[in-house]
């Protein structure tokens, strides 16, 4: 679908982007974008693990957000696109950033002090299920078929298989932290729905504005609590923070809004399952971690789940 962008960052198209998501008018390029998004966001875990030993969480999140914002604003300047200055646009950017990044990331970072990483992965993988429930019961902004629900469940089962069944045994021991992670995943699900309201803006503008707000709002706590000038981050941590800012935050968030506009809420959430095997592969390559014993079974379930969530319903005559 041809699309142009005005100098103010508002996108104009022959048909509303939300309509494309509902009708399922998509091609292989859209799914390539979904895979690219999964690759960008799957790098979050290994890069964070390299940076966090010498860069505290609040400073780390603020720094990567500001780096990402600076990167995107530079590209927008070269493209001749101005970021909107009206209060309505920035209210949307701020709300989206709070529910899609600032709130859930801080909650998960706090929870990981008490919940093992494997449990966190499983709990965070419930986002597609929450997105399905919110879509089918509340918003109803796009078709929520049983096939997509089955795909969400299969993807969750594949995630459990990859991280290991031992991850299920520890549930309930830190109930407050586990509930907090679930609240964060619900926030992620809401963000994929709220993000559709931003479809009139260029995805790069939305990403730049959101990341700038996220970085600035965490800057005062970073200065007060972490006192960054006293830190001694390693060269590896600095490189990991910069790469994460550009790849995971800047490019990832821009791809996220593109996928939302082209594929809709439920299909975009399928990338959450693709991130699991990709993240495992990156952890094996970058961190030397061992390959999970049930990786093959997990990959099979994950791919089946992703396929079920991404196949347009009308192709199977399911509504």
Which residues in 66-82 are b (16+ Cβ under 10 Å) and which e?
bbbbbbbbeebeeeebe
Residue 224 carries which DSSP code? I
Per cent of the chain over pLDDT 90 is 25
Residue 4 carries which DSSP code? E
Comparing 98 with 157, which gets the higher pLDDT?
98
For residue 278, what are the contacts with CB-CB under 8 A and spacing of at least 6?
Answer: 38, 39, 42
At residue 95, the pLDDT reads 92
Q: How confident is the model at residue 294 (pLDDT cuts 50, 70, 90)?
A: confident
pLDDT tens track for 186-231: 998 899 888 888 888 899 999 999 999 999 999 999 999 999 999 9
pTM over 0.85: no
Containing 5, the helix (H) or strand (E) segment is: strand 3-5
At residue 6, the pLDDT reads 53
Kindly state the tokens that stand for 86: 């009206």
- CA torsion sign, 58 to 62 to 65 to 67? negative
In terms of DSSP bridges, do strands 11-13 and 3-5 run parallel, antiparallel, or are they unpaired?
antiparallel
Residue carrying the six token digits 């079920």 = 308
Mean pLDDT of the chain: 80
Give yes or no for residue 257 having a pLDDT over 60: yes
Region 167-181: mean pLDDT is 72
């Amino acid at each position: 679908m041809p699309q142009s962008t005005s100098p103010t960052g508002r996108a104009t198209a022959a048909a509303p982007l939300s309509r494309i998501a509902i009708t399922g008018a998509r091609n292989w390029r859209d799914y390539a974008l979904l895979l690219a998004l999964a690759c960008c966001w799957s790098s979050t875990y290994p890069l964070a693990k390299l940076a966090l030993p010498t860069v505290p969480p609040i400073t780390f999140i603020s720094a990567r957000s500001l780096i990402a914002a600076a990167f995107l604003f530079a590209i927008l300047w070269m493209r001749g696109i101005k970021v909107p200055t009206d209060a309505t646009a920035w209210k949307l950017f701020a709300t989206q950033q709070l529910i899609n990044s600032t709130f859930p990331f801080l909650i998960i970072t706090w929870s990981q002090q008490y919940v093992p990483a494997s449990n966190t992965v499983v709990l965070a993988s419930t986002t597609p299920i929450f997105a399905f429930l919110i879509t089918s019961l509340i918003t109803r902004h796009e078709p929520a078929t049983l096939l997509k629900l089955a795909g969400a469940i299969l993807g969750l089962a594949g995630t459990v298989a990859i991280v290991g069944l031992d991850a299920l045994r520890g549930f309930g021991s830190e109930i407050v932290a586990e509930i907090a992670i679930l609240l964060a995943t619900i926030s992620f699900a809401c963000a994929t729905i709220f993000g559709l309201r931003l479809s009139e803006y260029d995805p790069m503008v939305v990403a730049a504005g959101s990341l700038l707000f996220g970085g600035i709002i965490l800057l005062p706590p970073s200065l007060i609590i972490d006192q960054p000038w006293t830190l001694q981050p390693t060269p590896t941590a600095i490189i990991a923070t910069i790469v994460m800012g550009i790849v995971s935050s800047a490019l990832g968030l821009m791809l996220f809004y593109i996928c939302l506009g082209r594929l809709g809420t439920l299909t975009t959430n399928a990338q959450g399952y693709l991130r699991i095997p990709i993240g495992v592969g990156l952890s094996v390559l970058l961190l030397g971690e061992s390959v999970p014993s049930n990786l093959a079974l997990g990959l099979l379930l994950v791919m089946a789940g992703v396929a079920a969530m991404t196949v347009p319903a009308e192709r199977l005559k399911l509504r």
